[in-house]
Amino acid sequence: MESLTLCNLSIGYGRHVVGAQLSARVAVGGVTLLLGRNGCGKSTLLHCLGGLLPPLAGEVRWDGGALHECTPQERARRVAFLLTTRPAAGSLTVQD
């Protein structure tokens, strides 16, 4: 069965770590909640899962393979989420 796995994942911005050594397995076909207080790293984790932000350490695996090794097209077939803010238009290419 396919699954999304966090392997000792550390997330944050620069030297500011908001989550360290996160490990979890999320099976396909269920409902998963991501709960926490403001500023605890929920959005940072989602950005990392979507490939918008690189992990500080560790890795995200999808069905046994490292997600960061996927091309953007492969990642788009496996992971999707809806941002609550628009990305800066200046960073988008025609292909995006």
pLDDT in tens, 66-76: 888 888 888 88
For residue 43, give the CATH number of its domain. 3.40.50.300
pLDDT, tens digit, for every residue of 3-18? 888 999 999 998 899 9
Position 96 in a domain: no
**Residue 95, both tokens:** 């292909």
What's the total number of domains in the chain?
1
The parent domain of residue 49 ranges over 3-91
Position 75 in a domain: yes
Tell me which long-range contacts 26-33 makes (C-beta under 8 A, separation of at least 24).
27/1, 27/2, 27/3, 28/1, 28/2, 28/3, 28/4, 29/1
Position 85 in a domain: yes
Q: Which pLDDT belongs to residue 26?
A: 85
pLDDT, tens digit, for every residue of 35-51? 999 988 998 998 888 87
